[in-house]
Amino acid sequence: MLSIYNTLTRKKEEFKPINPPYVNMYVCGPTVYDYFHIGNARSFIMSDIIRRYLEYKGFDVKFVMNLTDVDDKIIKKSNEEKKDAGAIADLYIKAFFEDIEKLKIKKADLYPKATAHMQEIIGLIKKLVDKGFAYNVDGNVFYDVSKFEKYGKLSGKNLDELISGARIEINEEKKNPLDFSLWKKAKEGEPYWESPWGNGRPGWHIECSAMSCKHLGETFDIHAGGNDLIFPHHENEIAQSEAANGKKFVNYWIHFGFLNINNEKMSKSLGNFFTAREILKLFSAEAIRLAFAQTHYAGPLNFSDELLASAEKGLEKLNNLADKVDEEIKKNNTTGNVPAFEFNKFKNDFENAMDDDFNSPQACAVIFDFVREVNRAIAENENISSKFFLDVKEFLQNTAEGVLGILDFSKSTVSSNDSISEDLINLLIKLRIDAKKEKNYALSDKIRDELNKLGIILQDSKEGTAYKRTKK
């Protein structure tokens, strides 16, 4: 039984999709005014792991991630760089897809753009105005929070407190300081669309309500995003969607904890701001994913080079086994022993971990336990059948590769399509074995060291000498 911590109820709840096996899931995507940062990457990776696990469980997931391509920050950047706002958005959308791919994040089924949904957005605002939840003041349309009695139900706030503690700039046009923009009147030089209230553009929250409704329906299963989106963004989405449709908006709200640097929030002003692409130059996608998966998605994560370095080291153990497994499968040994091994126990442990509110740190522990047990079986048995290794591979493919994305069998170092270099390496290995037989260890060590410098690591064992390439 899969349970999920629901921000709305502040409890772990059994996950019951509206229309199984279908699951409709919406994750707040980037505002495309810059490269996304490593904190965004955490949200994207953790939502990817959640999505992959739902698919592992047999759900048919429709995964939608919006691209907010019209917004104040984009306009600001376009003014600064004297470029068209659309060109800025296009540039960073392209970069977004490049980075997502490098991070091994599975593509969403849909990436709706705000600018491609103006009719839906305007339609939704119109509905809110008609129903009396919104008002127009000279071309600016605001949502009237006092009209939505459940305002604050997601963030646990109530209107009076919000008003008294409000640090919101005074806007004379608003009836209530907490009212938020649905439609902003265009200023000189800003991109605009035509609407019943004049030329303008949508406010920040409305595009998510409009696009999720269009692509996932008026009520859908899961909505996820960063912690800081609980208020006001998600609160406002609820207010908009539920007021317009008269139905519950989302059943399960999932929120990701913040990524901190030295226990401080990452921010450009503190100078501790890293983009995902900068980090990808230093560490592998798998290491980033493992580092993230080893912390529960909802808690804070303190990010550092050491964290990634330690993940990178841990990954070596996993990769070494994966290489070994491929090597053994290649041998196609059909007559060897099949060691007794509790594959089902590990499978159950993995599933129990992930079923418990996507406890990926526990799931990682299961995988590392599995790796150790397999290595032990290999050490304790001789002449092992390839069948065993096929089972090992299947488990790792389903879990470490398929759900967590911390392993990539296609990166295997065993096969090389460069047969000449492979032959050359094997030739050197033969020469080294000859040297060893003559106890010419100076020469044999030299061969090993020199190959090492070229990124080829030799490993002697009872069965002979194997080599692997250091991975990038």
CB of 370 to RNA, least distance (A): 10
Stretch that binds RNA, among 88-96, 108-116, 250-258, 403-411 (CB under 7 A): 250-258
User: Rule CB under 7 A: which of 175-214 touch RNA?
Assistant: 178, 180, 204
With binding defined as CB under 7 A, does residue 74 bind RNA? no
For the bound state, the minimum distance from the C-beta of residue 31 to RNA, rounded and expressed in Å, comes to: 5
Minimum distance between the CB of residue 314 and RNA, rounded to whole angstroms?
3
Considering the rule CB under 7 A, would residue 292 count as an interface residue with RNA?
no
Question: What is the distance of C-alpha 120 from the center of its chain?
Answer: 28
Q: What is the SS3 assignment for the chain? A: CCEEEECCCCEEEECCCCECCEEEEEECCCECCCCCEHHHHHHHHHHHHHHHHHHHCCCEEEEEECEECCCHHHHHHHHHHCCCHHHHHHHHHHHHHHHHHHCCCCCCCECCEHHHHHHHHHHHHHHHHHCCCEEEECCEEEECHHHCCCCCCCCCCCHHHHHHCCCCCCCCCCCCCCCEEEEEECCCCCCCECCCCCCEEECCCHHHHHHHHHHHCCCEEEEEEEHHHHHHHHHHHHHHHHHHHCCCCEEEEEEECCEEECCEECCCCCCCCCEHHHHHHHCCHHHHHHHHHCCCCCCCEEECHHHHHHHHHHHHHHHHHHHHHHHHHHHCCCCCECCCCCHHHHHHHHHHHHHECCCHHHHHHHHHHHHHHHHHHHHHCCCECHHHHHHHHHHHHHHHHHHHCCCCHHHCCCCCCCHHHHHHHHHHHHHHHHHHHCCCHHHHHHHHHHHHHCCEEEEEECCEEEEEECCC
Work out whether 459 is an interface residue with RNA (CB under 7 A).
yes
- Give the nearest distance from C-beta 20 to RNA in angstroms: 25
**Closer residue to RNA in complex, CB, 104/448:** 448
Is residue 361 a contact residue for RNA (CB under 7 A)? yes
DSSP bridge pairs for 224 = 27, 254
Instruction: Point out which span in 142-150, 255-263, 381-389, 395-403 binds RNA (CB under 7 A).
Output: 255-263
Residue 65 or 128: the one with the smaller Cβ distance to RNA is: 65
Binding mask 378-397 for RNA (x = CB under 7 A): xx------------------
* The one among 110, 118, 186, 309 contacting RNA by CB under 7 A: 309
Taking contact as CB under 7 A, which single stretch among the options 14-22, 99-107, 360-368, 388-396 is the one that binds RNA?
360-368
Residue 266 in contact with RNA, rule: CB under 7 A:
yes
With binding defined as CB under 7 A, does residue 171 bind RNA? no
Q: Shortest Cβ distance from residue 21 to RNA (Å)?
A: 26
Give, as ranges, the residues between 416 and 445 that touch RNA (CB under 7 A): 436, 441, 444-445
Using the minimum distance from each CB to RNA, give the nearer residue, 228 or 326. Answer: 228
30 binds RNA (CB under 7 A): yes
Q: Does 17 bind RNA (CB under 7 A)?
A: no
The residue from 14, 306, 438, 463 that contacts RNA (CB under 7 A) is: 306
| Minimal distance, residue 36 CB to RNA, in Å | 7
Minimum distance, C-beta of residue 249 to RNA, in the bound complex (Å)? 17
Partners of residue 222 on adjacent β-strands: 25, 252
Q: Is 238 in the site for RNA (CB under 7 A)?
A: no
Under the criterion CB under 7 A, does residue 314 sit at the interface with RNA?
A: yes
Record the tokens describing residue 360, joined without a space.
């990926």
Q: Per rule CB under 7 A, is residue 230 in the interface with RNA?
A: yes
Of residues 83 and 265, the one with the C-beta less far from RNA: 265
Of the pair 230, 335, the CB lying nearest RNA is at: 230
